[in-house]
Chains A and B, each alone.
Chain A
Amino acid sequence: MSSAQGSKAVKLLSFQIAGIPFSVLSDSPQHDGWLSAAYRQFHTSEKPGLNLAIRTRPRRSFDSLAPERIRWNGSRWTLESKLFRITEAPESRGYRAETASSTGIGDLMRTWFSYVLLSQGGVLLHATAVVRSGKALVFAGPSGSGKTTLARLAGRQPVLSDESVVITRSPHTRRGKAVFYAHGTPFFGELMDAAVNKSAPIGEVFLIRPPNSGSNDDSFRLTAVSPSRSMAELLSQTFLRVLSRNSLEILLSFLGEFTEGVRIRRLEFAPTPQIWKFIDDQSG
């Protein structure tokens, strides 16, 4: 475990995810090394609009039993979790984070970016996305639902991420309807190489799960999902653990428009390459 020392060299890293440039300054060389490697496709020379300063702290600085919560101090919020604490510092367009671990930076970064993204009109979704014919097919679901499997089955098709995809709304509409984009992120699951800095307009969203245990292993099934159920499942697949009332309203508004603007169906699938032919046959 390292701590901030006046003589220690620190490195300012700049990244851009879903068009949002930001810089990270950490007192931990392990953080620098990990971020430089894992986020290598997301380095940018763009001027950062946001800054995140990270300090490692002794584990005893955190209450390992406390529930996650948001605390307000005037107009600034602090998100507290068992292993890190993130505080808004609006005077410097920045955020300060303290973490109990010099290695658990991935979770901190993903959580922080989720909140930043929501404030800028986007949502980070627990999903994989595969680009086919220029359109992103987004597959959302909890751990174990098959996201990484689908990413592995994608073959030469571009995969935006095997774990976490940014959804944004384009300022433009098409035939009066909102257009949504999926963006790759460095918040990968098992496949670091699938963390690609690309984006594509969303063609369709699938709420995924493995086939029922009683069904044929080779089976695929697509079924309609009610709008409220779709929205509920998408809401449960964001990385926003606790929300203020205001943030919750923003999130519901975004997901409501998303649910109304994008086709969403339930997909049960067996992990075979035939999944793509099945989807192609069922789409249109």
Chain B
Amino acid sequence: MISPDSRLQHHPDVAWRLVQEDALLVDPHTGRIFPLNPVAARIWTLMDPSRQVSEIVEILVNEFDAPHENVREDAYEFIEKLLSANLVVPAPGRVGKGSSQQ
């Protein structure tokens, strides 16, 4: 589970590239390919050890024309998927309470 103060970072082995407003992630261990739409790509690029999940949501709310609650739910759901696919990992040292500890 992630919480608003969770801090996450890209898994160091994941290769990725922005393409226009989309992004493509590739897990070299499994060979799985993940195409991301512009909103998902924005979340991916905002994922940084210095930024809490709540801060990412705030940025998305300001950038995309959608109700705050919808943006928050969608963002959390997507970030949970990234975590379960091991594409992101908790940032070392500054892990928020309730962050995933896989």
Footprint of A on B, CB under 8 Å?
13, 15-24, 26, 28, 31, 33-37, 41
Contacts and interface: CB of A to CB of B under 8 A. Distances in A.
A248 B14 CA distance: 10
A226 interface: yes
Contacts of A242: 31
Contact of B19 (A228, A236, A245): A228
B28 A248 contact: yes
Contacts of A142: none
Nearest to B33: A232
A235 interface: yes
Contact of B15 (A231, A232, A245, A260): A245
Contact of A243 (B21, B28, B37): B28
Q: Which of A227, A228, A253 has the most CB of B within 10 A?
A: A228
A12 interface: no
B28 A228 contact: no
B17 A227 contact: no
B100 to A, nearest CB: 24
B6 to A, nearest CB: 25
Instruction: Give the residue among A235, A248, A253 with the most B Cβ atoms within 10 A.
Output: A248
Contacts of B35: 226, 228-229, 231-232
9 contacts: A226-B35, A226-B37, A227-B22, A228-B35, A231-B19, A231-B22, A235-B24, A248-B28, A253-B17
A256 B17 contact: yes
A235 B25 CA distance: 11
B17 A252 contact: yes
Nearest to B40: A228
Contact of A252 (B13, B15, B31): B15
A85 B19 CA distance: 34
Contact of A227 (B20, B33, B34): B20
Contacts of A219: none
Contacts of B20: 227, 259-260
A63 to B, nearest CB: 20
